[in-house]
Structure 1
Amino acid sequence: MKSYDLTISQKRAVRTDPSCHGWCYGLPPGISSAQWPLDPANGYPLQHGFTLLLPEEYRCHGPDVVAFSFFASSIDHNDGGPTVKAPGIRPAMGGAEAPDNPELKLFWEAEQRAHPRLSRMEDGLGIAYAVIMLTRAEFDGPFCAPPILIANRYRDALEPPAWLTIGGAASYWQFGSSYRWVRDTFGEKPANDPIENRAIHWTPRACDPNAGRIPYDKFLHDPTDYVHPECAITEEDGKTVFHDPEWTRDHKPNHIGGTMRPSQWVTQVSIYYIEFEEYFGGFNFGGGNAQLDFQNMIFDWSCG
């Protein structure tokens, strides 16, 4: 088993290129607009963060399921918690029966059309996330346009997210272009276009003793054979300096499996997980990073 580093190109994904293993921002592939997951806080479509083709040994849902698309509440609807102005939508979407109210019934009906491999998650602040596992045909399929929005007094109480008009890439640039890591991600201002994306490429890590091992937190979980990347501490010019182990030197912050470098605690996940930063799709993790176990559909993040 290997772990894999993930890099983001400053160019759009060329889907016919064998080195293209997915993309950040832009649109998901192979699903229908009717299957696009909605945000239970407000009824708007969740923002597509990234679509990732998995290496063969990480296809834990069977050989026919080769990739996934990850969705989240839009960054302009997430300021330390969802901006909720439509309290009837969440219970309507999760209800066993259709509501009598026709405007709320639309959200219930949308959830009945959900993709058969849709999984929903929510963080401790009530922010919504979703994963759709994809077959090869779906991964190679056409980009999906967001659903057409019909006027609705519940959803329309909140301004629509910017990405619906200008795309996730331009929306994230608009939110954080003053940050170096945002500028480094794009290279230049991305086009105002919902299809605008950035290609993802994965490569095996040359040295990672934790490939195929379950991470654990020393203070929270039972120990496994996982090797913690202990830092050496020295005093240099009156300052405390932390030195990462040599074997972690070339590890990228975005990766599939292997050694986890969380901003705070180690999330309890299986070996089938991805760790990613805010710019890997345009999220608000308080300057931190996130972990997604795509086998058990466990998601968590922590502030930087």
Structure 2
Amino acid sequence: MQAYDVLLEDWRAGVPAPDGQGWCFGLPPGLRPEQWPLDPHTGVPMMHGFTLLLPEDYRVHGPDLVAVSFFATAPDGFDGSPMDGPEGMAEAVTAEAPPSDPALRPYWDRAQRSHPRLTRIEDILGCAFAAILLTAEEFAGPPCRPPAPVDSPLAAGAPALDWLSRGSAAAYEAFNARLAPPVAADDPFLIHRPIRWQPRASDPNAGKPPRESWDGTPPDGGYESHFYWLDGKLKVENWREHDWAAGHAPMHIGGTMRPVQAIPEFSPYYIEFEEDFGGYNFGGGNAQLDFKEMKFDWACG
């Protein structure tokens, strides 16, 4: 088993290349609009962050499930807590039984048509994220545009998130005070950055669950920290990086994790990524998605 560095190519306009290894921003492939996950707090569509073709040694849900699409709370709707929405919306979007409120019933009806492999994830602050495992046919499918608003009087009070009017790429650039669109496009919703992954030359942690070791004792599973303290003395000037960790890309699939804060207890089957890998507000930090256990964690810088 190997670890893979993940690299971003230049901005592109149009449908992603069919022989690529994924893309961030843009639109998810192979879905029907009604399968697009709704934010359980507001009932609006969640923003597509990235779609990643998994290396063969990371297809842990079976050889037929070859990719994952990740959805998130948009950066202009993410300020350290979930967006406000109508009372009862979360239950309408996620519960098995329909709500008694007729204004919420259309949201429940829409949620009943969710993708069968949708996994909803909530961070420690209660903000919403989601992942959908894709077949090869879905990964190669056409881009799916966001669905029309749910037919309910509550939709009139939904937040006007920027990405829903001009696409996630232009919205993220504007969120970061870069006002020009990243590239000219007839359809701004199709602006994306292709993903390319390549095996790391050296990473002893490939195939090992990442774990923290505060006292220098090797954790269960044999995971190794990428740094050490010279002569075992915990001083800033004694911090050293192992030679094998040199040149590792900050975004990667599996292997050695470098979270901004503590290491979450994940399986070896994860991707670590930064804010520009789809357009998020992590407070300058980074994030990890465990696509085996379907866990998600992020921390601010």
Tell me, in whole angstroms, the C-alpha distance in 2 between the residues paired with 1:39 and 1:21: 27
The offset of 1:156, in angstroms, is 2.9
After superposition, give the CA deviation of every residue in 1:92-114 in whole Å (9 maximum; x if it has no partner).
12333212323201111111111
Tell me, in whole angstroms, the C-alpha distance in 2 between the residues paired with 1:209 and 1:35: 39
Tell me, in whole angstroms, the C-alpha distance in 2 between the residues paired with 1:3 and 1:245: 17
Partner of 1:261, secondary structure, is coil
Tell me, in whole angstroms, the C-alpha distance in 1 between the residues paired with 2:130 and 2:139: 17
Other-structure match for 2:128: 128
| Structural mapping, 1:262-281, within 5 Å | 262-281=259-278
Other-structure match for 2:205: 210
Tell me how large the CA RMSD over aligned residues is. 2.4
Partner of 1:103, secondary structure, is coil
**Are 2:300 and 1:300 aligned?**
no
Tell me, in whole angstroms, the C-alpha distance in 2 between the residues paired with 1:152 and 1:109: 11
Other-structure match for 1:226: 223
The offset of 1:276, in angstroms, is 0.6
After superposition, give the CA deviation of every residue in 1:21-62 in whole Å (9 maximum; x if it has no partner).
000001000010010000001000000000000010000010
TM-score in terms of structure 2 length: 0.90
The offset of 1:140, in angstroms, is 0.2
Contact 2:106 2:150 in 1 (8 A): no
Tell me, in whole angstroms, the C-alpha distance in 2 between the residues paired with 1:90 and 1:7: 36
After superposition, give the CA deviation of every residue in 1:90-143 in whole Å (9 maximum; x if it has no partner).
121233321232320111111111111110000011110000000000000000
Other-structure match for 1:83: 83
Contact 1:61 1:295 in 2 (8 A): yes
Q: Find the partner of 1:286 among 279, 283, 287.
A: 283
Unpaired runs of at least 5, structure 1: none
The offset of 1:88, in angstroms, is 2.2
The offset of 1:284, in angstroms, is 1.2
CA gap of 1:64–1:254, structure 2 versus 1, over 3 A, is same
Contact 2:26 2:169 in 1 (8 A): yes
Contact 2:43 2:158 in 1 (8 A): no
Read off the aligned partner of 1:163 and give its amino acid letter.
Answer: W
Tell me, in whole angstroms, the C-alpha distance in 2 between the residues paired with 1:278 and 1:190: 22
Other-structure match for 1:7: 7
Tell me, in whole angstroms, the C-alpha distance in 2 between the residues paired with 1:73 and 1:208: 32
Tell me, in whole angstroms, the C-alpha distance in 1 between the residues paired with 2:275 and 2:105: 34
Tell me, in whole angstroms, the C-alpha distance in 2 between the residues paired with 1:54 and 1:177: 33
Tell me, in whole angstroms, the C-alpha distance in 1 between the residues paired with 2:214 and 2:118: 33
CA gap of 1:154–1:219, structure 2 versus 1, over 3 A, is farther
Identity %, equivalent residues? 46
Unpaired runs of at least 5, structure 2: none
Read off the aligned partner of 1:26 and give its amino acid letter.
Answer: G
